[in-house]
Each structure stands twice: as structure tokens, then as C-alpha cells.
């Protein structure tokens, strides 16, 4: 299993942020199917102010490229993505048109690490 962490910003508008959160309480079934069908096993989204962080756990064979291709061919996913773009905005440094940006892990600490040092 692989873990990926991505980030994205929302429009800095309390009303739009609240709407975005409501949409994520009622995610369309086709969107859930596209997520699980691509090899994503678990997905969580966290918010602070207008900054989002997504944590994805995937099967070993998961591919961002294959997911993007499948999503591009799925009209319902495209409809969802267009709707979500109403609320979203790219983070500084994102490529044009890029939404969620993969974050680099810079630190990890495990209790096992401490136990091995002893």
C-alpha cells in the first residue's frame, strides 16, 4: 500500500467553503466508484481555513496517470470536477490547470525508530 498527501486551496469565502463541505457530505455515488475503482482504498480531506490536505492510501498498482485518463473519459466525474472548481483555487506554485498538488514528505517519526536507537 502507498500513501500520498496532496494539497489544494479553496476560495477564501466562508459561504463557498461551507458549500464545499456540504458537497463532501453527499459525494455522488459515481465519484465514490471512480475513486475506489482506481485503486484508492482510503481518502481523507482535512481543512484549515481555506487550505485543504488530502491523504490517500492506495493499492500498490495505483497510477495518477491512469486515474486521470479514466476521469477524463467519465462525464459524471468531469461534471463533479467542474462543480468543485467553483470552490477551489490552485496553490501557489501549481502548474496551470493543476488542482491537487502532491506534497513532499520531509519528516517521519515512528516509535519503532526510537526503540531501535536504544
Asked if residue 113 has pLDDT above 80, the reply is no
CA pair distance 76, 82, nearest whole angstrom: 10
Q: Under 8 Å CB-to-CB from 37, ≥6 apart: which residues?
A: 70
State the sign of the Cα–Cα–Cα–Cα dihedral 29, 35, 38, 40.
negative
The topology (CATH level 3) of 2-117 is: Alpha-Beta Plaits (3.30.70)
pLDDT tens column, 66-95: 999 999 999 999 999 999 999 999 999 999
- Nine cell digits for residue 24: 463532501
Alpha helix stretches (DSSP H) within 2-44: 14-23, 29-37
Domain spans of the chain, in order of start: 2-117
CB 39 within 8 A of CB 58: yes
- Nine cell digits for residue 9: 486551496
pLDDT band with cut points at 50, 70 and 90 for residue 97: confident
Mean pLDDT of 7-13: 97
pTM of the model as a whole: 0.88
CA pair distance 3, 76, nearest whole angstrom: 26
Asked if residue 115 has pLDDT above 90, the reply is no
At residue 47, the pLDDT reads 98
Mean pLDDT (the chain, rounded):
94
Closest alpha carbon to 51 in 11, 102, 97, 105 = 11
pLDDT tens column, 12-51: 999 999 999 999 999 999 999 999 999 999 999 999 999 9
CA pair distance 10, 49, nearest whole angstrom: 9
CA pair distance 42, 56, nearest whole angstrom: 6
Amino acid at each position: 500500500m502507498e500513501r500520498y498527501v496532496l494539497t489544494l486551496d479553496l476560495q477564501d469565502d466562508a459561504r463557498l467553503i461551507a458549500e464545499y463541505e456540504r458537497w463532501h457530505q453527499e459525494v455522488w455515488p459515481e465519484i465514490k466508484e471512480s475513486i475506489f475503482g482506481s485503486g484508492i482504498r482510503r481518502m481523507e480531506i482535512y481543512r484549515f481555513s481555506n487550505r485543504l490536505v488530502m491523504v490517500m492510501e492506495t493499492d500498490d498498482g495505483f497510477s495518477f496517470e491512469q486515474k486521470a485518463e479514466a476521469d477524463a473519459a467519465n462525464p459524471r466525474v468531469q461534471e463533479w470536477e467542474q462543480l468543485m472548481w467553483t470552490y477551489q483555487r490552485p496553490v501557489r506554485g501549481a502548474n496551470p490547470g493543476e488542482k491537487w498538488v502532491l506534497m513532499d514528505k520531509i519528516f517521519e517519526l515512528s516509535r519503532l525508530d526510537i526503540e531501535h536507537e536504544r
